[in-house]
Structure 1
Amino acid sequence: MATRQSTFLGRILAAPSILVLFLWMIVPLGMTIWFSLLRYNLLDPGNESFIGALNYEYFLTDPAFFTALGNTLLLVGSVLLITIVGGILVALLMDQPIFGQGVVRLFIIAPFFVMPTVSALVWKNLLMHPVSGLFAWIATSLGFQPVDWFSNAPLFSVILIVAWQWLPFAALILLTALQSLDGEQKEAAQMDGVGPFSFFFYIVLPHLARAITVVILIETIFLLSVFAEIFVTTGGGPGLATTNIAFLVYAQALLQYDVGGASAGGIVAVVLANIVAAFMVRLIGKNLEA
């Protein structure tokens, strides 16, 4: 009886916070869904009208949507590939006993704590600037023509910036998994004369499978909403070369003042993100069960 009363009391005490959290999520979502069903343009205030699913039809049939979707998938896939492969290599290096190991690890992990806007400004003005950037100075010193990164390879440039930010995260997760590898298993492999490549592919890589799955899941959720790096460096251009779904929604809302169309795009982005997240959760669940 006392247990039931304490459980009931606990639910009553937790109810206000749960209610606030529910309203915090459901009210903005409900308003976005409602706006997505309206013809609502900030340049024509007071003349909103209900148009049903027309905003969704316009957004999903707009050629810019397919370009943005392709850019989003390419951005996510490329960053995942770079961070996982690079993260494994960095984790293997950080796992080696070296002088000043703690300081080295701190410097390697540091980029993850830099704000995306600051990171994008550093890359744009200090590294990739075609006149005064570090890469331009290196190219000129070697007798080559400097590259205007954000004009000639805009999406690749954004991918490099985002990958640089997320590489430390992947390396940290993979290093943690690498350090949990059984020492007896290492000794047995050494006694059996297993080479370094065989040891990596048949022992280390399978051991890192779960950690890699976790990295893919977490990074995918965040990479679907990359915005600051694109806004600061390329502004979605040239043309639509670096426009992803998140930037397309921003452009419709604050550049075209089309609140209805942007709200429909936001709902589409949420649905796509949830589909990807559900798929990744099922994938990681199967991996953990295995």
Structure 2
Amino acid sequence: MIVPLLMTLYFSVIRYNLMQPGEHEFIGLMNYEFFVTDPSFSTAVGNTLLLLGSVIAITVVLGIAIALLVNEPFPGRGIVRVLLISPFFVMPTVNALLWKHMMMNPIYGVFAQISKAVGAQPIDWLTDYPLFSVIVMVAWQWLPFAILIFITALQSMNREQLEAARMDGANAVQQFRFLVLPHLSRAIAVVVMIEMIFLLSVFAEIFTTTGGGPGDASTNIAFLIFKQALLNFDVGVASAGALFAVLLANVAAVFLIRMVGKNLER
């Protein structure tokens, strides 16, 4: 772990472009300045934060709702739980291809067929709503993880408290607000922390479907680093961007670990 990090740090302070072979002179923080002044940088940061916040919000809200639905006994509950968790084991590239061709294709996709069936004009999702399309793909894959964590948390809940609340006249909303939601606070903190760390590096879905476009509409930090490294052949700037991403991920991780720690102390 240390050797690649040190090499990235070294590359980030030298002039290292694969299209310009020769001596790699020391240039200090110029690569960092070039990366943060890239016209796509502010858009990429905004898209990263929007992707992060949207996916976390979707997975937490829907994860709790679905976990509550499948927590109570019903025929076939085991099969339903397996089906709910299975999307998490689909590789990101396969996930992106499924949504790109099977669901969102404007000619033969499922959404296009539904639109035609109701007399509406099919939408080219990846062109008209590129970032929203990526958010849907990523949320679909991470939703099973949230469901699994919340189901596990609900199974450890004290049933006697719920029964006592029902006997005291508490309705379903009151039970959820004052008993279930506080009980799920630790699970929610864990889901948010883990998802935030991993979602900062979303790449496969963007590369496979939108290519960061149209323009920079769906470019995030990870894809911007890719463009600098492999499309512009600038190893130095890409290394500076990679260290920026590492710093961003560590800041988020420290903040969330403290938040989880405070929850555990309650």
Q: What runs of 5+ residues in structure 2 fail to find an aligned partner? A: none
The question of 1:127 aligning with 2:107 is answered no
Is 1:99 matched up with 2:75? yes
Equivalence map 1:151-190=2 (5 Å):
151-190=127-166
| 1:4-153 paired onto structure 2 within 5 Å | 25-153=1-129
Whether 2:220 is the aligned partner of 1:239: answer no
After superposition, what is the alpha-carbon deviation per residue over 1:256-285, rounded to whole angstroms, capped at 9, x for unaligned?
101010000001111111111111111111
Which stretches in structure 1 are left out of the alignment for 5+ residues? 1-24
Question: Structure 1 residue 126: deviation in Å?
Answer: 0.4
In structure 1, the partner of 2:246 is 270
Letter in 1 for 2:224: L
Q: Could you tell me how far apart the structure 2 residues matched to 1:108 and 1:180 are?
A: 20
CA distance in 2: counterparts of 1:199 and 1:29, whole angstroms:
49
Q: Which amino acid aligns with 2:111?
A: F
Q: Which runs of 4+ in 1 moved over 2 A?
A: none
The whole-number CA distance in structure 1 between the counterparts of 2:159 and 2:249 is 40
User: Which deviations, in whole Å up to 9, do the C-alpha atoms of 1:175-208 show, x marking residues without a partner?
Assistant: 1111111011111011111101111111101110
String of CA shifts for 1:101-148, please: whole Å, max 9, x gaps. Answer: 100000010000000000000000000000010000000011000000
Alignment match of 1:208 (pick from 151, 170, 184): 184
Q: Deviations over 1:6-26 (max 9, x none)?
A: xxxxxxxxxxxxxxxxxxx11
2:171 corresponds in structure 1 to: 195
| TM-score for both structures, normalised by structure 2 | 0.99
CA distance in 1, matches of 2:23, 2:112: 52
The Cα of 1:63 is off from its aligned counterpart by: 2.6
1:201-247 deviation line (CA, Å, top 9, x unaligned):
11101110110000000110000000000000100111111111111
Figure out how many residues of one structure are paired with residues of the other and give that number: 266
Query: RMSD across aligned C-alpha pairs, in angstroms?
Result: 0.8
Secondary structure in 2 aligned to 1:39?
coil
Distance 2:102 2:207 in 1: 17
TM-score, normalized by length of structure 1? 0.90
- % identity of equivalent residues: 62
Give me the whole-angstrom Cα distance separating, in 2, the residues matched to 1:284 and 1:96.
28
Q: Which AA in structure 2 matches 1:288?
A: L
- State yes or no: 1:286 paired with 2:239: no
